[in-house]
Amino acid sequence: MLSRFMDKAATITEKDRNDLKNHWRLCTITQVEEAKCVMRMLPVWLCTIIYSVVFTQMASLFVEQGDVMNNKVGKFHLPAATMSVFDICSVLLCTGLYRYVLIPLVAKLCGFPRGITELQRMGVGLIIGMLSMVAAGVTEFARLKQVIPGEKASSLSILWQIPQYVLVGASEVFMYVGQLEFFNGQAPDGIKSFGSSLCMASISLGNYVSSMLVYMVMAVTVRGENPGWIPNNLNVGHMDRFFFLLAILAALDFVLYLFCARWYKSIRIEEEGDKKNLEDQENISIV
């Protein structure tokens, strides 16, 4: 229905015949097809925002969690923020594994030379992102079990955070790289920068949505003497429940993403074989 509605933008009416140069009233076929392409990408893009919420936790709640854990490793003390090095190592490792192991394996089994499609890659990123929240929730649950009365830090080692950082790093390789390839590849040639902008917008909105979720959770969970899930003193809160909530949201988002990815139909505006035909259509309108 939306496609038919947008087709009307290229339909010449009696009123348009006297004003064919007014681009606000009449569009070319190529312009209409480009607009359709952008509209079809938006549902897929919306599904990436929840992943950005998950990714944001690495620079916020993961660090807060590490601050109240035992950061002594041998004779050294690891600052909570330095744990992100495991995310970087995970990205480097998974990038190599994807390029030199997964792609050749999938290409051999399925006959697809590029391994998996961009949409499949983003879906895998969503699943791994969900697992990272489960890992963070389990770590927080274990940390709360080992809280020392009167002490700020739990006796649980900060090394317990390694799995959640590694999983976030692995999810980045699939989600953000797949996202860039998908939006840049599917965006019309005239607005290629729009594809990159969608990726940045997803990350930005993820930060805002994360802040909104924290505010909403605190507004709902703070009751009387109950300090809520994410109080200033995490030892009396339940941040594990917040991580599990994000895992549930990521799972629901993945289900929605499956529908959007299945519904999505690739539109190439200027493939090499069709370039000449599309150039000829620049000044042709549907009658």
| Residues 38-66: tens digit of each pLDDT | 788 889 999 999 999 999 999 999 999 99
Q: What is the DSSP letter of 44?
A: H
Indicate the pLDDT class of residue 105, thresholds 50, 70 and 90. Answer: confident
| Per-residue model confidence (pLDDT) at position 168 | 97
Beta bridge partners of residue 147, listed in sequence order: 154
CA 153 → CA 58, 60, 61, 170, 235, distances in Å? 19, 17, 15, 28, 8
Give the 3-state secondary structure of residue 226: strand
Domain ranges of the chain: 36-273
Nearest of 158, 162, 178 to residue 116 by alpha carbon = 178
| Residues 175-233: tens digit of each pLDDT | 998 898 888 888 777 677 777 788 889 999 999 999 999 999 999 999 888 899 999 99
CA 277 → CA 29, 157, 202, 273, 283, distances in Å? 12, 64, 34, 8, 11
| Residues 68-95: tens digit of each pLDDT | 999 998 888 889 999 999 999 999 999 9
| Whole-number average pLDDT of the chain | 83
* pTM given for the model: 0.83
List the CATH code of the domain at 36-273: 1.20.1250.20
Instruction: Show the tokens assigned to 255.
Output: 């289900």
